[in-house]
Structure 1
């Protein structure tokens, strides 16, 4: 498995903008990168740095973030998808990350899901036309994202399976999943084909693998047993300078 540096947080001590962080990651032997929102970033500079280094993006977020469960925000959500798809084409057409938005008070689980399925089906059609994959990301609600609708990997997989688009998959984040008390192997068994990307960070703290309590070599072995062959996104907050942080991460993951 190859590593994908989250340049939103990594290489920030050594460089300022994302283009130079891409170059720094490349010099460190990492040719896959990802980041969060894009509208406040130098998209042309990022494209140039990717071309110069031969690096590739493994993902960035649909921006602005809008709710998939609130019909009042669906038009804006789809417009955000359209704009982000245009940006993605300039950057090699990587997967685009979709967050769910927050629970609506007094609304049933069935209605939440129905609204999510409705708008994601429309978004998936836009993604199919553009040849880009959308990835739905469950987030933990116990530490960083209280009130978020989608905090269950099983529910995310169920929604993606129901829609049935080849351009709608799941982003599985080991940290968020572990915070929510999920057992990775049982959650993903037989459903890894629905997962586009995997991200890692240790728990507690959301720092480098090797700083917390997760058995990372076991996680990597389980992912391989489940059939995952993609990249591991390093979406953690580093506690060390970039090269030391990467060395710790490689040792912990065994990759």
Structure 2
């Protein structure tokens, strides 16, 4: 690359980043006219970004269904709720109907995650392994009520006293059992690698190549990767190349900037480029907004929408 071309590209990237941060800042000040760089308020986003409960409660109030409707009014077409299994069956039915009426796609809820367990990596604890399979079975009725396809599974902790290869094989065996539960229904386990350096030291699954290897070994359409961009920026970076290398096994994405785990534009990740890349590869699933907000109150919710408008303006 010629030096002049390099400088021009660097300048363009800097302008784009400054524009995104300016939009977030404008939203925080209440400059509503500056918060929609890509179309009018309510225009659907290019990708299915999925807010979660509580993200818009300052505007929509505490009612779950009102929050769903508010998110749809802002142009969001995805939704996720890690704690969906904790809702009553009656509420799950209402959520599923509301999502359907609004034309929104349900993202993940957590099917299994027990950070104190070593069920996946040790085959001698048969009761713990049976509980994992039961957790997956218990998720089926919930998924039916809310029209979910993807459910998060975290393969728990690792064992210092067992070689990694044996732990991996034990994990694969248990995941094959779990995937067999989901396959007849067309549901998908999405395995989430979680970073060791900031949030979750000691968990077994922490890298995308590791998750890719496991999914290939399980060899089921019902076992894929949840690529959490926040976690993987901390753990290994190299985001776009890792997305490409793992693409065939990725079933779901989650977003969050680093540091801070807040909305795009508040940290170091170039989310406009990352989202553009995911879109150009033809991704049609949900990108869960598993992060907080950098600003409190209604202004923070306006800033959140502005941040996604900026990141989606590719």
Calculate the TM-score normalised by the size of structure 2: 0.74
1:192 aligns with 247
1:126 corresponds to which residue?
A: 181
Gaps of 5+ in 1: none
Map 1:6-155 onto structure 2 (within 5 A).
Answer: 6-13=51-58, 14-52=60-98, 53-54=101-102, 55-63=104-112, 65=114, 67-71=119-123, 72=125, 73-155=128-210
Deviation for aligned residue 1:249 = 2.3
1:164 corresponds to: 219
1:64, CA displacement in angstroms? 5.9
Larger Rg: 1 or 2?
A: 2
Using CA pairs under 8 Å that are at least 6 residues apart, name the structure with larger relative contact order, 1 or 2.
2
Whose helix fraction is larger, Structure 1's or Structure 2's?
2
Q: How many residues align?
A: 255
1:121 & 1:139 partners in 2: Cα distance?
21
| 1:25 alignment partner, SS class | helix
- Unaligned runs of 5+ residues in structure 2 are 1-45
Aligned match of 1:5? 50
User: What residue in structure 1 maps to residue 304 of structure 2?
Assistant: 245
Counterpart-to-counterpart distance in 2, 1:76 and 1:15:
37
Q: For the aligned residues, what is the CA RMSD? A: 2.1
Is residue 113–residue 154 contact of structure 2 (8 Å, CA) maintained in 1?
no
CA separation of 1:43 and 1:144: change in aligned 2, threshold 3 A: farther
1:45-66 per-position Cα deviation (integer Å, ceiling 9, x unaligned): 2431342343220111104646
DSSP-derived class of the 1:191 partner: helix
Q: Answer yes or no: is the 8 Å Cα contact 2:85–2:110 preserved in 1.
A: no
118-127 or 36-45, larger mean C-alpha shift: 36-45
SS, match of residue 50 in structure 2: strand
1:57-96 deviation digits (Å, cap 9, x = unpaired): 0111104646422432211000000001221111113211
